[in-house]
């Protein structure tokens, strides 16, 4: 798919892909996999998707078809998966499909930052539950966090580090906040004349 309906204040993806999600048909996806795997003999396939598995029923149906057809193929998801979209059923379908590792996009361990600064609104409790389920399934787990948002205090950053210390994952990626042109944060900093 391309496009994401979420309005995270730090993201500028909508300037390229828009907010309306556009999906390829299952037939087209199957045809593309057929070409990549059978014609070119690839053993790994990297899936780039703005909001992976957002159509739950279609994804579960497609993952079943792919898992039966391509048992020896390794599927990779380099983009951070959305906690809002994930649940146990989708995780099971991903594993059945051959996906054994992925990054989960949490971004902040502070409720205030989630709701008031970055507007991502990740349920930190749901994120913990998802991470625990992934661990139980022996999934390789990466998590993404960002520190240094405008208005984020040291205490809020400490809440994020405390959250990181409370979860069992394989890798933690910590990025520094950047005002990407097209993002809400960028526009706010320009309007306040903090950046040009």
pLDDT tens sequence across 67-99: 888 888 888 888 889 999 999 999 999 999 889
pTM (2 d.p.) = 0.92
**CA torsion angle 95 84 19 1 (round to 10):** 10
pLDDT digits (tens, 9 = 90+) for 120-157: 999 999 999 999 999 999 999 999 999 999 999 999 99
Q: What is the pLDDT of residue 140?
A: 95
Token representation of residue 184: 């809400």
Give the span between the Cα atoms of 113 and 119, in whole angstroms: 8
Q: What is the pLDDT of residue 192?
A: 96
Q: What is the pLDDT of residue 148?
A: 97
**N residues, the chain:** 196
Give the span between the Cα atoms of 59 and 169, in whole angstroms: 25
Q: Where are the alpha helices (DSSP H) in 14-87?
A: 14-17, 26-34, 56-69
Which residues on adjacent β-strands are paired with residue 77? 102
Q: How far separated are the first and last CA of the chain, in Å rounded?
A: 34
* Residue written as token pair 């556009």: 22
Compare 38 and 192 and report the one with higher pLDDT. 192
Give the span between the Cα atoms of 151 and 105, in whole angstroms: 21
């Amino acid at each position: 798919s391309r496009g994401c309906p979420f309005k995270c204040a730090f993201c500028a993806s909508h300037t390229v892909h828009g907010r309306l999600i556009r999906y390829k048909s299952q037939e087209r996806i199957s045809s593309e996999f057929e070409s990549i795997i059978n014609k070119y003999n690839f053993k790994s396939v990297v899936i780039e998707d703005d909001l992976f598995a957002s159509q739950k029923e279609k994804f579960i149906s497609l993952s079943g078809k792919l898992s039966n057809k391509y048992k020896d193929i390794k599927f990779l998801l380099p983009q951070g998966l959305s906690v809002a979209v994930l649940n146990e059923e989708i995780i099971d379908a991903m594993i059945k499909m051959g996906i054994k590792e992925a990054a989960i996009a949490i971004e902040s361990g502070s409720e205030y930052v989630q709701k008031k600064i970055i507007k991502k609104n990740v349920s930190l409790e749901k994120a913990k539950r998802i991470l625990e389920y992934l661990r139980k399934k022996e999934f390789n787990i990466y998590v993404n966090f960002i520190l240094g948002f405008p208005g984020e205090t040291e205490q809020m950053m400490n809440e994020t580090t405390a959250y990181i210390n409370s979860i069992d994952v394989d890798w933690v990626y910590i990025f520094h906040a950047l005002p990407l042109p097209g993002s809400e944060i960028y526009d706010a900093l320009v309007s306040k004349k903090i950046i040009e």
